[in-house]
Structure 1
């Protein structure tokens, strides 16, 4: 499969696996307290242990915190019992074929934002990183993810949140209502990172 024929989710997965392999298990990430080994174990758990999904999805809620604690315990056990090289192989190969998340249309839906964000979590924690130049098609795909995460992030700002594409005139999405209005401008990948909590490394303008 050539890079051009892959879905964006598959391309981001492959690129992240390459970077994890290159950096080794002890490199920092933008996820607080996590090394590349922690992140690899998280991704393998997400891929292969559907029973951990509720905890990972609801971690930010009071109801989800006990479930999240158990999900992270599963990740910790996996990291302790599995060599890093094997974890990276599993990240690269993805979920087993019998899981719905292995089907390309489902993977495109659930993995695009996950792998784009975590790829940047690793990239942007390394010295000398620079933003990538993504093709318009990829940015258009990530715009939908940015809008979704923006709706979730709207509660973190007073009034309304407006995400505005810096690469496409007139393209913006408003979440919430009232004043003041927080306008965040950037390319879709940068907006996605900002909305997903990576505000220190997202290249956006906030006004």
Structure 2
């Protein structure tokens, strides 16, 4: 059975092919070519990748990404699709899933909803949905650690978890599928199909907070 990260990598590459290199993404001003270049650098260029997190190295990273983004589109997409190089620990399925499944899921949605369309643009398998909920169960407190309000995540099936303890500003309840909740956890709430319950000021405070891993 193909592991989840490779399934999502392949699905994203199929979408890249369908969309072309100049389509908008939620990572504006990046186009699909820019996003593909980011993914190649992240997996294949450890000499450039630190620029993603370290501002002093950002200019070198930007130059490297521009070189990849300028490659012929089929070549660039194939670099993404081929996955981690042989020397990478992510050659092992378990490592690839742990480090790359969510990365590719989020960026796939960045492309599918790049025109700011709200709600699902594809149907996920039960296996993928379970994996997303499992990741939320493990990481929700990290994703929402900077929320100034309490946060509870719920699915339509009745699953629930506390992502952030209640504060003096109150608690916001987010209900949606694991995919839509994951998008909210990564700061993509504007395109997520969610039922949001909470005071207006609490909801505004939540969406103004920097969510996700960064």
Please report the TM-score for the alignment, with normalisation by the length of structure 2. Answer: 0.81
> Paired residue for 2:106?
117
Maintained 8 Å contact 2:6/2:83: no
The 1:68/1:193 distance shift into structure 2, 3 A limit, reads farther
> Paired residue for 1:26?
22
The equivalences for 1:157-176 within 5 A come to: 157-166=147-156, 168-176=157-165
Maintained 8 Å contact 1:123/1:129: no
CA distance, structure 2, for counterparts of residue 29 and residue 153 of structure 1 = 21
Matched, 1:10 2:6: yes
> Paired residue for 2:77?
88
Matched, 1:66 2:53: no
1:185 CA displacement: 1.1
* Runs of 5+ consecutive residues of structure 2 not aligned to the other structure: 198-214
CA distance, structure 2, for counterparts of residue 10 and residue 190 of structure 1 = 21
Of residues 28, 36, 42, the one that matches 2:38 is: 42
Q: Secondary structure of 1:41's partner?
A: helix
The 1:183/1:65 distance shift into structure 2, 3 A limit, reads farther
Of residues 162, 182, 185, the one that matches 1:195 is: 185
> Paired residue for 2:211?
none
Matched, 1:98 2:87: yes
Q: Secondary structure of 2:81's partner?
A: helix
The 1:128/1:182 distance shift into structure 2, 3 A limit, reads closer
CA distance, structure 2, for counterparts of residue 68 and residue 146 of structure 1 = 30
> Paired residue for 2:175?
185
* Runs of 5+ consecutive residues of structure 1 not aligned to the other structure: 59-63
The 1:115/1:190 distance shift into structure 2, 3 A limit, reads same
1:184 CA displacement: 1.1
The 1:102/1:198 distance shift into structure 2, 3 A limit, reads same
> Paired residue for 2:194?
204
